[in-house]
Amino acid sequence: MATFQAPKVGTIQLIKNTNCKNMVKGLLSMAAQYTTPTNTDDRRSTTMIRDEDDSTVATANTATSISELYMIADAVADRVEMHTNIGEQRDNWNTLLLTSINTITLTAATMSAISAAATTNLLLPSLNLSSSLLFSAAAGMMVLMNKIQPSQLAEEQRNAARLLKQLHREIQTTLAIGGIPAPRDVRDAMEKVLALDRAYPLPLLGAMLDKFPSKVEPTVWWPSQEQQEKKRLLGNNNNVEKNGWSEQLEDEMRQIVGVLRRKDSEEYMRLGKLALKINKILAVTGPLLAGIAAVGSAFVGSAPSHRGLALGVSLAAGALASVVNTLEHGGQVGMVFEMYRNSAGFFKLLEESIEATLDQKDVEKRENGESYELKVALQLGRSLSELRDLASHASSSSNPYYCSSREAEASDEFASKLF
């Protein structure tokens, strides 16, 4: 007879407890699996955000360096045009002055020969006077020509144009090869431009190189290593707020505008007015003397008592007319006036540009402050440290307790070193 045995209650309870424990362990394991990757993703997200921020900052710095290199390249290209044009003009000076002096000297020598061969004593004083005047004028023009050496000036500008073209190609190559330019590349390019400005100056008065130096030395058109290292240690002390602008930089720009208006614009306008006045006097004097010479020559055949006077006036006025014409056109006084007028216009444009930038209240809509400061320094032919020193001296000179003679002398300095 078959028997039926029911399972023990204790055994069933044990099985149930075991299954519950296994289920709990499984749930905990699954929760751990889902929790751990979530924390890892958070850490990865935080790392990615930081990397993106660093990448954004690096990209902004790279873009600033690239834009500054392009700005320097544009300034170098403009300097190439300036040196080329002025070099051609000074080469013309050499040709015109040389031709004029030779013509005057030849004319004076011819007059001396005629005077020596004259058969009447009436011609001797007039010919001798004209010859003497022409020789004196030729001597004065020779002194001036020997002082400035136009052929040497033209050669300086040709060398400057060649070296600036070489620098422009170097900057274009740096930008074209696809590398990441560093701020050091910008500083090096800036120093090379300023070194070329010092080696081959454009203006004649006050900045012209000595044509007869006491000691012959090689021309240096590259920045010294000591100067480069010193300026690399100089950091930007401006407390940058937004877009490279700060209150200190804005005050610096205002001081630069004041110096431009008070010194450079006023001085070049004064020189332009002086050149225009001289040009007007020469333009009137030359034809007037030529007219007097013509009238005098008309009376040469008159009464014998007035023949000698008429001949003397005619020859003297003709010689002076030749000298005046040579000074006006050989010296190209009109070109000098136009140069001063254009320089004054350049400074006025720079003043208005800085004022318009500062009048823009939204700093984010302005050009980057550091790049703008670099552009102003390039246009004035200064380094960044020299630009800040100029603004500092200009600010100090407005102080009523300002009494330092050395700083007072620095405050009288012009803003532009290029013209």
Q: What is the pLDDT of residue 207?
A: 81
- Cα Rg, the chain, nearest whole Å: 40
* 372 shares a domain with 249: yes
Give 95-131 pLDDT, tens digit per residue: 999 999 999 998 988 888 787 666 566 666 777 788 8
What is the value of pTM for the model shown? 0.71
**What are the tokens at 66?**
């690239």
Q: What percent of the chain has pLDDT over 70?
A: 74
Say if 118 falls within a structural domain.
yes
Residue 21 clears pLDDT 90, i.e. is over it: no
* 396 shares a domain with 270: yes
Please report, for residues 45, 51, 213, 335, 370, the alpha-carbon distance to residue 152 in angstroms, rounded to integers and kept in the order given. Answer: 67, 58, 13, 20, 38
Say if 36 falls within a structural domain.
no
Mean pLDDT of 137-157: 91
Residue 23 clears pLDDT 60, i.e. is over it: no
Q: Range of 400's domain?
A: 244-419
* 384 shares a domain with 297: yes
**Number of folded domains in the chain?**
2
Q: What is the pLDDT of residue 227?
A: 57
Mean pLDDT of 312-339: 87
**Measuring CA to CA, which residue among 101, 96, 149, 105 is closest to residue 333?**
96
* 249 shares a domain with 196: no
Say if 15 falls within a structural domain.
no
* 255 shares a domain with 192: no
d(CA 136, CA 108): 10
pLDDT band at residue 132 under the 50/70/90 scheme: confident
Give 71-94 pLDDT, tens digit per residue: 999 999 999 999 999 999 999 999
Give 360-407 pLDDT, tens digit per residue: 888 888 988 989 999 999 999 999 999 999 998 888 776 554 544 444
Q: What is the pLDDT of residue 228?
A: 55
Q: What percent of the chain has pLDDT over 90?
A: 38
* 198 shares a domain with 257: no
d(CA 161, CA 142): 28
Q: What is the pLDDT of residue 394?
A: 87
* 100 shares a domain with 181: yes
DSSP string, 34-54: HHHHHHHHHHHHHHHHHHHHH
Mean pLDDT of 344-353: 92
